[in-house]
Amino acid sequence: MAELIWVYAEVVEGKITPTTLEILSKAAEVGTAEAILLGPAPDDAVKTLGDYGAGKIYRSPDPVFHDCLTLPAIKTIAGLIEKHHPELMLFASSYAGRDLAAALSVVLDSGAITDVGDFVLKDGRVEASIPALGGSYLNTTTLAGSGTKILLVRPKSFEPKARPQTASVEDVEAPSDPSVRKARVTDRVAVEQEGPDLEGARVIVAGGRGLREAEKFSLLRQLADLLGGAVAATRAVVDAGWVPYSLQVGQTGKTVKPDLYIACGISGAVQHLSGMKGSKTIIAINKDPEAPIFQVADLGVVGDVFKVVPQLIDDLKKRKGA
């Protein structure tokens, strides 16, 4: 019989996240996939999860999951796992996924593997390949034992594949005791977004500390506009307040895989590399010939961003005009 694999369905801004569907697709490919859906969710959530391979969905729409953070979810998921003993419990390597997986691994005394890029199940153990040091090395880590094994899967590790079926729904009860209400959301802050969506962009022009000041980011915007792309930044740049946090690419920001990634004045700290290494073509412009970004780039220019980028903008404008 196929192994039972559970996927935690994450809802962000009223939508099931793309990573949820990627992981669910993989789960359905290698086992019997089921999903856990907690808190308010869009009307078509059950259908969507079914479309991507979930045969069954454990569901509670209780707002406590939305308002009191992870404590209610930990309690509910732990209870379900102890009852049904799935072989694997998969989470996206997102902020919410990490919180839940870490806590559950303690509650269930099960261990977990983070940053999973791929995995196989064999002989009652799971073997995962995970990038170490931001992907400079790959290691194989295993988790054995009879309990449910928890994996945190990196975004964009698997292709989402529709395999439509109708999922059955089992209602679960939300925990009501006050101990799960120790943390409570008081406010949500929307962050303004400019330009095209980073995750969907086919071309990304990204800037790092090498740009030296906030104003210089306008150069990258011009270049991105000409290429119909989006701008992105490193952690250092968003921390400096040059651009909003929504533009950060890297381990604590977004993971992107555009057709073309142009890195301007980015040295290539592992933090950043882990969010963009998967780009199809990477062009890097940096003053320092030793910068690690050149180890992942396809095309490298050791040079002054402030000379090369304006020239690029000129050339592209001429080409457009011609």
Contacts to other proteins from residues 154-183, by CB under 8 A: 182-183
**Contact by Cβ (8 Å): 241, 214:** yes
In order of 71, 205, 249, 319, the CA distances from 226 in angstroms are 47, 11, 21, 10
Asked if 49 interacts with other proteins (CB under 8 A), we say no
Q: Do β-strands 118-122 and 125-132 pair in parallel, antiparallel, or remain unpaired? A: antiparallel
User: What is the C-alpha separation between 314 and 222, in angstroms, rounded?
Assistant: 10
Site for other proteins in 184-203 (CB under 8 A): 184-191, 193, 202-203
For residue 264, count other CB atoms closer than 10 A to its CB.
27
User: What is the C-alpha separation between 88 and 20, in angstroms, rounded?
Assistant: 15
Least Å from the CB of residue 95 to other proteins = 5
Q: What's the DSSP call for residue 251?
A: T
> What SS3 class is residue 104?
helix
Asked if 121 interacts with other proteins (CB under 8 A), we say no
Site for other proteins in 5-44 (CB under 8 A): 12-13
Asked if 115 interacts with other proteins (CB under 8 A), we say yes
Nearer to other proteins, 28 or 64 (CB): 64
Considering only the stretches 21-29, 40-48, 158-166, 243-251, report the one whose residues sit in contact with other proteins under the rule CB under 8 A: 243-251
Asked if 143 interacts with other proteins (CB under 8 A), we say yes
Asked if 314 interacts with other proteins (CB under 8 A), we say yes
Choose which of 3, 79, 96, 165 interacts with other proteins (CB under 8 A): 96
> What SS3 class is residue 313?
helix
Least Å from the CB of residue 97 to other proteins = 10
Nearer to other proteins, 111 or 160 (CB): 111
Nearer to other proteins, 46 or 305 (CB): 305
Nearer to other proteins, 1 or 322 (CB): 322
User: What is the C-alpha separation between 150 and 230, in angstroms, rounded?
Assistant: 35
